[in-house]
Amino acid sequence: MRFGTTIAGVGEPTFILIHGLASTRRIWDLVVPLLKVEHKVIAFDVRGHGETEKPEFGYALEDLAGDIDELLRRYGVTRPVLVGHSAGAHLALHHAITRRNARGVVLVDGGLIELHAHLSWEDALEQLSPPPDDGYQIEKFVRDGWSEVPNTTQLAEIRRSLFEWDKGTDARKRLTRERHLAILRSLWEQDVHADLAALHCPALIVACRPREGSDAQWMAQKELAALRVARLPHVRVSWLADTIHDAPVQRPRELADAILAFSGALRADERTKVSPKRP
């Protein structure tokens, strides 16, 4: 598999950054510089996305987890901290429970709500299917996009990474509709709560609470799910207030601080476990 990757920094544990559905590794561009000071960081494009290969088949969570296996082997990473955003959080969770080699997982506004418990597959198709693949105009995308995030040159570059551009301003999404729906089906089938309960390692869930006016029913489901999983001894839930779903672009500093604090706690706990007991 040919991966599109961003690699920076040194230090353990290595962070593997996993983007969400129809996104790219570039969504981590504002977070990577903050993490690389203390850690090696590998952000990569999931298959079918960005600059990674786009095979015709193989878009279930297990297929995508196999790509992470290959990535870890290629870069000699044995005990990563998996950091996933949105659908990437679901993938991080799946990889952690099926491989059991993660030192910890960070789930950023994902991996919390069990889709099939709230939506039939028909409703999921209606509500979560991607918009048409063609005909995007950059002006419309800028207007409808991250309206609460200051529009910087770097943010514009991150936006543009989501599309393949024709001459002028016409754009096509990098992830085809068929592949999008194949991944969505696998996410819809995932037993999130059972997976969280089965985790062998610590987990931090960073949930986003947007400003008033967002989908109240969805937020109620998210808050209820957070209360439920927070009872698990190995799971901690942290909230980012006034934050859109795409926290890596709106709150990079706050998100990086949460990830670094989680990693620091992991290392401190590991040192405590290996330290000889005093008589």
Please report the pLDDT score of residue 142 as a whole number: 47
260 has a pLDDT exceeding 50? yes
How far is 118 from 123, CA to CA, in rounded Å? 9
Residue among 84, 131, 141 nearest 112 (CA): 84
How far is 232 from 13, CA to CA, in rounded Å? 24
Provide the mean pLDDT of the chain.
Answer: 90
| Percent of the chain's residues with pLDDT above 70 | 88
Please report the pLDDT score of residue 233 as a whole number: 96
6-11 mean pLDDT: 97
How far is 212 from 234, CA to CA, in rounded Å? 31
- Which comes out higher in pLDDT, residue 267 or 173? 267
Q: DSSP string spanning the chain?
A: -PPPEEEE---SSPEEEE--TT--GGGGTTTHHHHTTTS-EEEEPPTTSTTS---SS--SHHHHHHHHHHHHHHTT-SSPEEEEETHHHHHHHHHHHHH---SEEEEES-S-S-HHHH--HHHHHHHHSPPPSS-EEHHHHHHHS-TTS---HHHHHHHHTTEEE-STTEEEESS-HHHHHHHHHHHHH--HHHHHHH-SS-EEEEEEEPPTTS-HHHHHHHHHHHHHHTTSTTEEEEEEET--S-HHHH-HHHHHHHHHHHHHHHHHHHHHHHSPPP-
Please report the pLDDT score of residue 129 as a whole number: 84
198-219 mean pLDDT: 89
Kindly report, residue by residue over 222-245, the tens digit of the pLDDT.
999 999 999 999 999 999 999 999
CA geometry: angle 34, 38, 39, nearest 5 deg:
90
Kindly report, residue by residue over 121-172, the tens digit of the pLDDT.
999 999 888 776 554 554 465 456 677 788 888 888 888 887 766 555 555 6
The domains located in the chain, with CATH, are 5-274 (3.40.50.1820)
248-256 mean pLDDT: 97
173 has a pLDDT exceeding 80? no
Kindly report, residue by residue over 85-94, the tens digit of the pLDDT.
999 999 999 9
How far is 78 from 32, CA to CA, in rounded Å? 20
Please report the pLDDT score of residue 261 as a whole number: 98
